[in-house]
Amino acid sequence: MPLWLGMVPFAVAYAVTARAAGLSVLETQLMSVTVFAGASQFAAAGLFASGANALGIVATTALLNARHVLYGLSLSRTLPLTRPQRVLAAQFLTDEAYGVAVVRGPQESGGLSFAFLLGAELSLYSIWNLSTLVGALAGAVLPDPGALGVAVVFPLAFLGLLVPLLKGRLTVLVALASGLGAWALSRVLPGGLVILLAGIGGALLGAFLSTRSQNTASQA
């Protein structure tokens, strides 16, 4: 339930941004039905608005969703799935569904099951798509999103995803390096490429610093 409360404003904000970027109600909804990945949908809406290159949008999506491989790896270690189950579960796997499955799943009688995973996934999927529809239709009613300053919702929404992740000095350092790097790059390069380069650069920095500190810790 608390997850739904978090998803609804995010989905509505995504839909309003997508509509402001010139996507139709159908296109806005189609992205929620197929891609079903909040952060990358929102990023794509912002990039559409800034007129970014299409391949940049796709590459940013690929980078953002590369982390889903981690959720799959983690889930498949505790929950053996048949091939049809994997094919189905993969479409609806998100950060939130993974979180619910690993935290609440083991508390169920009989432990984490495919039914529990799919149930969590589908409930989030329904809420996400319903909220998208509401936002997309609301976006059509608003007179002029530009004049209302709706564009500020985009950085605010991502700030909302970023803030809970800032735990400890290393994550703050990575965020600052990537954010300031992106700002500097955005003066000379197109939007999609900036996110991709700064995103990869920041994650490499984080991986380098964290594995280095682990190595020195294990040697000491």
Partner 1 sequence: MSVLLVIFLMWAVTYPVRWLGLSLGRLHLPPFWLSFLQFVPVSVFAALVLPEVLGSPEWPRRLVACVVGGLLMWRTGSLAPGILGGFAAYWGARLLGL
Site track for partner 1 across 124-153, x = CB under 8 A: -------------------------x-xxx
Nearest alpha carbon to residue 16 among 193, 166, 148, 181: 148
198 counts as binding partner 1 under rule CB under 8 A = yes
To partner 1, the closest distance from the beta carbon of 110 in angstroms equals: 20
Of 137 and 205, which has the nearer Cβ to partner 1?
205
Of 109 and 206, which has the nearer Cβ to partner 1?
206
Measured distance CA(204)–CA(79) in Å, rounded: 30
Measured distance CA(166)–CA(104) in Å, rounded: 24
To partner 1, the closest distance from the beta carbon of 53 in angstroms equals: 9
| Touching partner 1, residues 2-41 (CB under 8 A) | 2, 5-6, 8-10, 13, 23-24, 27, 30-31, 34-37, 39-41
Q: Which of 15, 20, 89, 100 binds partner 1 (CB under 8 A)?
A: 89
Q: Which of 122, 138, 142, 180 binds partner 1 (CB under 8 A)?
A: 180
Q: Which of 51, 67, 99, 140 binds partner 1 (CB under 8 A)?
A: 67
Nearest alpha carbon to residue 209 among 169, 182, 163: 169
Cβ burial 190-215 (10 Å sphere, 16+ → b, else e): ebbbbbbebbebbeebbeeeeeeeee
Structure tokens at 219: 């040697």
Measured distance CA(106)–CA(109) in Å, rounded: 8
- Give the interface segment with partner 1, choosing from 99-107, 125-133, 137-145, 160-168 (CB under 8 A): 160-168
Please report the sign of the dihedral spanned by the C-alpha atoms of residue 57, residue 53, residue 43, residue 11: negative
Of 109 and 219, which has the nearer Cβ to partner 1?
219
